[in-house]
Amino acid sequence: MESESEMGRTRYRLYMIIGLVVAILLLAAGVGALLTNGGPVLGWFMVVAGLAIAIVSVVQLRRS
């Protein structure tokens, strides 16, 4: 991952916000898959991936 100093501050924050949006979409798709029996393995994978992306994005936004 590029650091904030290598790209502009605004661009860096934009990437982190896009990460949050992707995380929310993954969480929603994962929960939807779990609730509709669309595939428990895929559903849990999406939930875990969404949480990981959300945590990293929030931590990076707080640091910037």
Count of domains forming the chain: 1
| Whole-number pLDDT of residue 11 | 85
Classify residue 24: in a domain, yes or no: yes
Rounded Cα–Cα distance for residues 59 and 61 (Å) = 5
Classify residue 14: in a domain, yes or no: yes
Classify residue 20: in a domain, yes or no: yes
| Whole-number pLDDT of residue 2 | 61
Q: What is the pLDDT along the chain (64 residues), one digit of tens a residue?
A: 566 566 678 888 888 899 999 999 999 999 999 999 888 899 999 999 999 999 999 998 888 7
Classify residue 3: in a domain, yes or no: no
CB 29 within 8 A of CB 3: no
Domain, as residue range, for 14: 9-63
Give residues with Cβ within 8 angstroms of 27, minimum separation 6.
Answer: 46, 47, 50, 51, 54
Classify residue 1: in a domain, yes or no: no
Structure tokens belonging to residue 1: 């991952």
Classify residue 35: in a domain, yes or no: yes
Give residues with Cβ within 8 angstroms of 42, minimum separation 6.
Answer: 30, 33
